[in-house]
Amino acid sequence: MNTVQFAFIAASVLALLTAPFWSAMLPSHLALMQALTIACIWAIFAMGWDIQSGYTGYISFGHSVLSGAAGYTTAMLIYNVDPNMSLWITIPLSIIVTVLIGLVIALPSLRLRGPYFSLITFAAVLVFYRMLRPLSEYTGGETGISRNIYTYGSDTTILGFELFYYEVRYYIALVPMLLVALGLLYISRSNNGMVFKAIRENESAVEAAGLDATKFKIWSFAVSSVPMGIGGVLLVHRFGSVDPELFVIVDNSIEMIAMAVLGGIGSILGPIAGAFFFIVANDYLLPGFGNVLPIIDFGTTTRYAVLWTLVLLVLVFARDGLGRKLWNWLGRLGGDDR
């Protein structure tokens, strides 16, 4: 990382930390803060997917099961045990459940190679979704759980600055996102992270070197379960409810993949950029264009058509991702020869 790249990262973090203040000067301040809050949570999901699928090359369509498991665990704890249960309790308990479910998926599936792993993770979503109905006494079935799940955040004052409830919610999502990013960056640069990437490049060579590739693949899946658990808890508290459409369907896993593709798979920082671009564009920028160009209906269908077209273009013309393209350009700007 050269000076220009470091300055860009520092400026980006500073912009995120001060977002409630500078965003107040922009149109639809509340809508932007809500979009940034959701983007923080989806960035956690995208990073969680990336440390497993992006680094090992084993593409998972089942990570929505992990976020769903965390969301339902939190909702059931609050609804059935204590309506005022703290995040400090729901997050670790939900992470434990998420890791256990992740291991149930990973132990049999990661012994396979090629598309068979992806098919099993896809099937895991269908199984989890179908299980919600017979367990409706606890899960709420197709309607989910929406009673007694409180949302965090209230008007407060920090260092003399008055923050509204939606700005407090933003920081509750931002801080875990930054911590997850630091943790996953550390792992990705460790010996384990090097093995993850080696598996992606040539798994047979890893085995020939005397390393148990299956063990490292399972380890990567377990690691990825942790951010999925954190994000699931934050999401259920953000919306105050949990249901299959919001947490479990395979569309969620595909959106995580799209965010990683936009930012750059196998980079941790790339999925963060992709998540913010995807969510802010979908929830704030494109609806704003609807006010400028009223002849075009920028409803949900149009917005997703625009974003998915962009994802396809990135896959065809910039497979490294827009985030990595920007990172490499900053590297050249700072004197790198790449």
Q: 99 or 140: which carries more pLDDT confidence?
A: 99
pLDDT mean over 46-72: 93
3-state secondary structure 252-276: HHHHHHHHHHHHCCCCCHHHHHHHH
pLDDT mean over 68-82: 87
Query: pTM for the complete prediction?
Result: 0.92
Read off the pLDDT of residues 265-322 as tens digits, 9 standing for 90 and up: 998 999 999 999 999 999 888 887 766 666 666 677 888 888 999 999 998 888 889 9
- Non-local CB neighbours of 154 within 8 Å, separated by 6+ positions: 165, 168
CATH topology for 3-333 is ABC transporter involved in vitamin B12 uptake, BtuC (1.10.3470)
pLDDT mean over 234-245: 85
In the block, tokens 């498991």 appear at 69
pLDDT at 36 over 90: yes
C-beta of residue 264 within 8 angstroms of C-beta of residue 321: yes
Identify which of 109, 99, 114 has the alpha carbon closest to the alpha carbon of residue 65.
99
Read off the pLDDT of residues 126-156 as tens digits, 9 standing for 90 and up: 888 888 888 888 888 878 887 666 666 555 6
C-beta of residue 221 within 8 angstroms of C-beta of residue 124: no
Q: How confident is the model at residue 157 (pLDDT cuts 50, 70, 90)?
A: low
pLDDT for 87 equals 80
The strand pairing partners of 156, in sequence order, are 163
So where are the chain's domains?
A: 3-333
The rounded distance, in Å, linking the Cα atoms of 328 and 297 is 36
